[in-house]
Structure 1
C-alpha cells in the first residue's frame, strides 16, 4: 500500500462522497490473506445511515471497477461511518460531537474528560464535571492546544435519564 495509491483512491472517492453531502473521513487499504480490504469511512453532520452507506458502496464499487486504481488483485470493499470512539481530528468532528463527552489530551497539562458545549473556528467550550459533589466548571480549549481527543461512549447519561423521567411525569 503506497501513499500514492491512497491519494489516488481519495481523488476518486472524494467527489462521490461529496455528491451525497458526505465527508470522506478515511481511506484505508490493508492486506487480508490473498485479498486486500479497502475501508472507506464517510460522515455527515447528521450521521450516516446504513442505506446511505449501501448506496455509496455501489457507486464506489462501480467507480473502482471502471478505474485501474486497485489493480488486478482481489479486494473487499467496506463503506462505513466512523466508529463511536473515533479520534476527533477536524473542527467538523468536534462540531458533530456537541453535547457528547470527550477525552482530551492537551499538548501541555493533564488529560481532561469533559462535555462539549460549543464549537467555533478557533476551538471548543467544555463543561468539566465536578468531582465529589462539586459543580461542573466551564473551560475553553483552542484547537492548537489539543494533542489528541476522542469521544467517550456513554451507556447511561444522567441528565438524559432525568429529562426523560421529567417528560413522562409532565404528560397527562
Structure 2
C-alpha cells in the first residue's frame, strides 16, 4: 500500500503553481495523468476563458480543477470536481483566491493525500488551512478491477458513506447507496 501526503506551495505565477500541483499529483501515482496542456490553457487570451485542468484517474473517472467554480462570485477560487461517465458533479472549493497576492499562503498552497494499492486509489484534497486527514474539502475513493470499476465521492464527508457509481462498460452508471450496496453483481460466480 502506498501512502503520500503532499503540500504543494510555490511562490511564483499562478501557472507555475498549477504546474507544480499537476506534477505532484501525477507523480504520486502513475495511474493519474494530466490530459490538459497547461501552457496552452494559460496562453488562451480570451477574457471569458476559464482555466480548466483535467486529470484522468486510471481510466475510471476524471478530476477537473477549474477556476471560478465558487458559488460566491466575489471569490474566484479553484474548485475540484469529479467527472464520472462523462458527467461533471458538484465541486469543492479550494482556497486560491485571485483577490490575494500570489505570495500569500492562501493563493499558493493545496494539500492532498493519496492512499493506493493495486486495485484502489483514495485521494483527499484540502486548501491552505487543512491538515489531512483530519480535515479536508473533498475526497474520492475508487476501486478498479478488470471489468469492475466503482467510485465514491464526498464533500466534507467520508466518501465511503456516499453513493457508489459504476464506471465500467458492463454496468456504467449503476448507483449503489448505503441501503442497496449488496445488490450489485460482478456477473460471474455470484453467490
TM, length-normalised to structure 2: 0.23
Structure number with greater Rg is 1
Judging by fraction of residues, say which structure has more helix: 1
Structure with greater proportional strand content: 2
